[in-house]
Amino acid sequence: MASRVLVLISGNGSNLQALIDASRANPSTLDASIIHVISNKKTAYGLKRAANAGISSTYHNLLAYKKENPNNPQEARQAYDVDLAKLILAQTPDLVVCAGWMHILSPAALDPLKEAGVDIINLHPALPGQFDGANAIERAYEAFQRGEITKTGIMIHYVIAAVDRGTPIIVREIEMIKGESLEDLENRMHAVEHVEIANGTRMALEEREKNKQTSE
């Protein structure tokens, strides 16, 4: 039976599309079913991609929690993450993939998933330890202009509480090109992402299956 994958998005959803296409094209690329999509942005185009593919989705935004708890943003985030974990677990996925998900997951979200045996992976557009957090492509581009680096890359990694610090599954280096625009670099990186997000998802599922067999 195909593994069940839930995808978290915040924007355009081109990596979600890559996962949908891979899961429907060839089982050897990705023998999995994309069962549900959760977005923290109402206008995320990825929600339309999910609808076009006949995949159910949920909109789950932090704003309502901040309004309920205006004096304690930390508590608001905790409550949001607790409910996010409940939403995810209600779909009974084997794996959660963060594909352009722009919300840092706290232990309030991660711990219930771990307890339920659900792995979570993320695509990050930088090499391990190089540009953690947001705007990684822009930061790498600027560092290249200053002569500080000659390459950047993408990685698929397991998610832990420390941002972009989980164990890498795939790391792909991408050489910087002199005179290239930021947009051109982004396009080159996205092309690599669309291939590797499917590969990383497949590898995480294979690892999960292997661990399951070992523990039985």
| pLDDT for res 46 | 97
| pLDDT for res 203 | 96
The whole domain housing 57 covers: 3-215
- Beta 151-158 vs 168-175: how paired, if at all? antiparallel
| pLDDT for res 32 | 94
| pLDDT for res 73 | 87
* CATH code where residue 47 lies: 3.40.50.170
Distance of CA 142 to the CA centre of its chain: 24
Residue-by-residue DSSP string for 42-66: TT-HHHHHHHHTT-EEEE--SHHHH
| pLDDT for res 25 | 87
Q: How many domains does the chain have?
A: 1
Q: Are 154 and 134 in contact (CB under 8 A)?
A: no
Query: Which parts of the chain sit beneath pLDDT 50?
Result: none
pLDDT tens-digit readout, 150-198: 999 999 999 998 888 999 999 999 999 999 999 999 999 999 999 999 9
Give the integer Cα–Cα distance in Å for 91 and 115. Answer: 15
| pLDDT for res 123 | 97
- Beta 119-124 vs 151-158: how paired, if at all? antiparallel
Catalytic site positions: 124
| pLDDT for res 214 | 83
